[in-house]
Chain A
Amino acid sequence: MPEPARAAARSITLEVLRYRPEIEAAPVWQSYVVPFSEDLSVLQALQHVKDELDGSLSFRWSCRMAICGSCGMMIDGRPRLACQTFLRELLPGPVRLEALAHWPIQRDLVIDASGFIAGLERIKPYLIPRQPRPLAAGEYRQSPHELELFEPYSACINCLLCYAACPQFGLDPGFTGPGLLALLHRYNADSRDGGRAQRMAAVNAEHGVWSCTAVGYCSEVCPKAVDPAHAVNQNKVNSAIDYLRHLLAPRGAPP
């Protein structure tokens, strides 16, 4: 965007894909003109619409600082967080806003993420100790290397941008998907955890890591630099080793 055009921008048009199930059978586009300023985020522009122009517009938000993962949406066709995306990057507009791709739309920019929530329960995203450990035993000790193995994957905020980026999830919503697989890996890769055997079934399934074709767009759109593609790739190796081990020693296979 050349400087003069940026300085000249006084307003910007938002084109929002609206869906109100009680009014329309299929989503429709609606335009809103909002005042432009250099420091205005897409989320603030939507809040302006809701407060000043049209109170019926629905969207999710909470923290305004890329921590809560609520305001993910398609912004000019890319999955992004509305709070982290500034209108100055999108001049001269119009800016097209849609609900996150590949998810059922509940209303306007709000998706139905119940499939993800159900998946969260299945992958057991919490530390499962190897054996019961009393508080008196003190803290777990981890080397910097052991921390490095899982720390990047612990930054996930469940914003689902990676799902909107994943063509395989788009083709087959049964796919466990990048976010859940990265989170699963975060616990499997933790030296304090002993729950790997319980999680491997989810990894080994066709809808586990094996639906991934290593496109890598998930890692590109991740606002927290989690790199789910790398987590999935590591687990393809883990799953292949697990497969061969199971083949060679079906009963006595170590966990």
Chain B
Amino acid sequence: MSSGTSPPARSHAPIFWLLFGAGGMLSALFGPALVFITGIAAPLGIVIPHDLLSYPRVLALSQHWAGKSLLFVIVALFAWHAAHRLLHSLHDLGLRIGPATRLLCYGSASLLTLVSAAGLLALGF
């Protein structure tokens, strides 16, 4: 327990925790269904038609503003969730978390966010 008379500095953890929480809720809600649809059901043509994820359909989805937002939110928030989880798991394993590890984890999430935003915007409306 830290001592001292001046009040302790405010942590910036809430930013990352909020992104982590949002990503966690999204991944819990959509993660398993997405794995099933994109990884199993669509390629094998079970339950849903085989061409559900065909190029023109997915292109149309990612060119519609709603589809675009959905894809962006899912990619970006999943990434922030994963980055935060990995960082804390490394800490739990006894690794000293310094600026480099933080940069690697949150930097990857930032990069993925930027790449997905740029890619989705490049596809046009």
Contacts and interface: CB of A to CB of B under 8 A. Distances in A.
B14 A239 contact: yes
B7 interface: yes
Interface of A: 115-116, 118-119, 122, 167, 171, 173-177, 180, 201-202, 204-208, 210, 213, 236, 239-240, 243-244, 246
B10 A246 contact: yes
B1 A201 contact: no
A244 B14 contact: yes
B1 A210 contact: no
Contacts of B7: 201-202, 205
Contact of B17 (A122, A201, A236): A236
Nearest to B10: A204
A210 to B, nearest CB: 4
A189 to B, nearest CB: 20
Nearest to A173: B1
B8 A116 contact: no
B9 A240 contact: no
A217 to B, nearest CB: 13
B11 interface: yes
Contacts of A116: 1
Contacts of A236: 14, 17
B14 A240 contact: yes
Interface stretch (B41-49, B56-64, B88-96, B111-119): B88-96
Interface residues on B, range: 10 to 19
Contacts of A119: 1
A172 to B, nearest CB: 9
A207 B14 contact: no
Given A205-B2, A243-B14, A244-B14, 15 more contacts: A115-B1, A171-B94, A174-B1, A202-B7, A204-B11, A205-B8, A205-B9, A206-B8, A208-B11, A210-B14, A213-B91, A236-B14, A240-B17, A243-B15, A246-B10
Interface string B1-29: 11100011111111101100000000000
A225 to B, nearest CB: 24
B11 A206 contact: yes
Q: Which 7 A-B pairs have the closest CB atoms?
A: A205-B8, A201-B7, A210-B13, A243-B14, A240-B14, A206-B11, A119-B1
Interface string B84-111: 0000100110100000000000000000
Contacts of A205: 2, 7-11
Contact of A175 (B1, B15, B17, B92): B1
A171 B3 CA distance: 17
Contacts of A240: 14, 17-18
